[in-house]
A = this chain, B = another copy of it.
Amino acid sequence: MGGFFGITSTRECLADVFFGTDYHSHLGTRRAGLAAYDPAIGLQRKIHNIENAPFRTKFERVFQEMRGTSAIGCISDTDPQPLLVRSRLGNYAVCTIGVINNSEKLIADCLDREGGYFDAMTGGRINSTQLFSALMSQKTDFVEGIRYAQEQIEGTASVLILKNDGSLIAARDRLGRLPICIGRSEDGYAVSFESFAYQKLGYEDERELGPGEIVQITPDGIVQLMPPGTEKRICAFLWSYYGYPTSTYEGVNVEAMRYRNGESLAEQDEQNGFSEPIDYVGGVPDSGTPHAIGYANRSGRRYARAFVKYTPTWSRSFMPQDQWERDRIAKMKQIPVHDLIQGKDLLFVDDSIVRGTQLRETVEFLYENGAKSVHMRSACPPILFACKYLNFSRSSSDVDLIARRVILELEGEAGLEHLEEYSDGSTERGRNLRRAIAEKLHFASLEFQSLEGVVKAIGLPPCELCTYCWNGKE
């Protein structure tokens, strides 16, 4: 994933963009960058590796190195960004978020062309944002270029551009799978993945871009370069899994949606007559927690934090050279609260169950710490299709998905024709699937949120949501 943030203002704005970008740190852990435009200096840029130290540590000296009345920043889980580019579109800084699934084909196309070449990274890899820029450069203006690039790529790409005159161009991906919000202050405008980022900086909500919409922004105002499309497919997982609790997309707050979602999970259990003794309801941190709070609030069962992630310094991966097994380190973060586990019947809510590997380890860890029983609830339906738009689901292909694997075990390829039935917990196939996964992962019981449940908790029209992972609907 990743996220971007930018400001165009009548006053120096680098400190604001510094903090606004930092507020996207939950969206990526590998690279971060800032670009600024100052009339006297032109475009400037700084990128740092943030794998071993957080954004703020790495960029603390940026105020000696750069300045600007317009600036953009980016937190990235993949390639270094923003790039400075010089093309027939002019000089500009650019960052993109999303995923390009057909990059090798697109690169090959570019290289076939006379003069085609790329600056490469270790191993010959091509920076995705560079590829996007190369595609844009096929056309002679930004709007055409962005549209062309978005059409060429299979996947999703939202773009934020800082031009060599200090203006910003923001373009939301064609089907609006990811959000772009715009805030307004007395001095200018902010563009952001997360709206709370600019709110904390004193900007008020102006509006969200529509799917495929392209705008150019200066301190004087917003000019629409391309109106939004009529179709929208915003990713439902923004709410159920990777959005930040304080985030609000399409007017729907993440934390509040999760409470509603957990409440409806509890209602479903009630309707199903679930009556096992439960000492504590808990969430698998971090995203499972608010779903669990909703469940506990609605069910009247006690909420508790039976294990805790050690946060003060564990936000980064680290490996003391050759001295420790990698496995052991992965487990260092979760710390049990024995009194809340030992001899207890526990019900946990997780945001989703993809491959099941991590969840199985977590459940074993609970049993090792003396849990009497561990019931599991998934805050979304079974994941039956690997995401091809955002790659968010940490699963490279359908075959990794535990729901699919269990279905194949239950009745072979034939089962794949009954996916809808399997998804539905009220059918026999649905019950079989839940039972088989529960057995495999050592859950005392397993239930999934229904597709209707999660859509209702979000509250948007179903046609505006991408629910491909669950029902395969493109």
Q: Is the CB–CB distance between A115 and B138 below 8 Å?
A: yes
Q: Is the CB–CB distance between A297 and B303 below 8 Å?
A: yes
User: Do A124 and B87 form a contact, CB below 8 Å, given A248-B338, A256-B339?
Assistant: no
Q: How far is the CA of A337 from the CA of B121 in the complex (A)?
A: 40
A441 within 8 Å of B (CB atoms): no
Complex partner residue of A300 from B52, B300, B321, CB under 8 angstroms:
B300
A79 within 8 Å of B (CB atoms): no
Q: Is the CB–CB distance between A86 and B111 below 8 Å?
A: yes
A385 within 8 Å of B (CB atoms): no
Q: Is the CB–CB distance between B86 and A124 below 8 Å?
A: yes
CB distance from A142 to the nearest CB of B (A): 13
CB distance from A398 to the nearest CB of B (A): 29
Task: Give residues of chain A (305-321) contacting chain B, Cβ–Cβ below 8 Å.
Answer: 305, 307-308, 310-316, 318, 320-321
A245 within 8 Å of B (CB atoms): yes
Q: How far is the CA of A446 from the CA of B390 in the complex (A)?
A: 48
Q: How far is the CA of A44 from the CA of B300 in the complex (A)?
A: 56
* Chain B positions within 8 Å of A53 at CB level: 53-54, 57
Q: Is the CB–CB distance between A303 and B313 below 8 Å?
A: no
A110 within 8 Å of B (CB atoms): yes
A122 within 8 Å of B (CB atoms): yes
* Chain B positions within 8 Å of A43 at CB level: 120, 122-124
Q: Is the CB–CB distance between A134 and B115 below 8 Å?
A: yes
CB distance from A331 to the nearest CB of B (A): 8
User: Do A293 and B300 form a contact, CB below 8 Å, given A42-B124, A133-B117?
Assistant: no
User: Do A293 and B297 form a contact, CB below 8 Å, given A25-B313, A200-B335, A338-B253?
Assistant: no
* Chain B positions within 8 Å of A115 at CB level: 110, 113, 115-116, 134, 137-138
CB distance from A312 to the nearest CB of B (A): 4
Interface string of A103-130 (1 = CB under 8 A from B): 0000100111111111111111010001
A190 within 8 Å of B (CB atoms): no
A22 nearest in chain B by CB position: B313
Q: Is the CB–CB distance between B42 and A308 below 8 Å?
A: no
A161 within 8 Å of B (CB atoms): no
Interface string of A135-151 (1 = CB under 8 A from B): 01110000000000000
A88 within 8 Å of B (CB atoms): yes
CB distance from A37 to the nearest CB of B (A): 11
Most buried by B among A57, A304, A312: A312
Q: Is the CB–CB distance between A84 and B124 below 8 Å?
A: yes
A336 nearest in chain B by CB position: B246
Q: Is the CB–CB distance between A246 and B200 below 8 Å?
A: no
Q: Is the CB–CB distance between A88 and B63 below 8 Å?
A: no
Complex partner residue of A256 from B89, B117, B123, B337, CB under 8 angstroms:
B337
* Chain B positions within 8 Å of A239 at CB level: none
Complex partner residue of A86 from B15, B120, B133, B164, CB under 8 angstroms:
B120
Complex partner residue of A320 from B15, B84, B304, CB under 8 angstroms:
B15
A362 within 8 Å of B (CB atoms): no
Q: Is the CB–CB distance between A56 and B316 below 8 Å?
A: yes
User: Do A41 and B122 form a contact, CB below 8 Å, given A15-B324, A60-B52, A60-B318?
Assistant: yes
Q: Is the CB–CB distance between A304 and B293 below 8 Å?
A: yes
* Chain B positions within 8 Å of A138 at CB level: 114-115
Complex partner residue of A337 from B83, B130, B246, CB under 8 angstroms:
B246
Q: How far is the CA of A314 from the CA of B15 in the complex (A)?
A: 15
CB distance from A153 to the nearest CB of B (A): 15
Q: How far is the CA of A324 from the CA of B54 in the complex (A)?
A: 20
* Chain B positions within 8 Å of A307 at CB level: 246
Q: How far is the CA of A136 from the CA of B290 in the complex (A)?
A: 52
15 new A-B contacts at CB < 8 Å, known A85-B118, A91-B124, A246-B336: A25-B312, A25-B313, A41-B122, A52-B57, A53-B53, A54-B312, A60-B320, A84-B120, A86-B120, A87-B116, A88-B116, A117-B136, A245-B337, A253-B339, A293-B305
The 9 closest A-B pairs by CB, nearest first: A87-B117, A25-B312, A54-B313, A91-B124, A117-B137, A84-B120, A256-B339, A86-B120, A42-B123
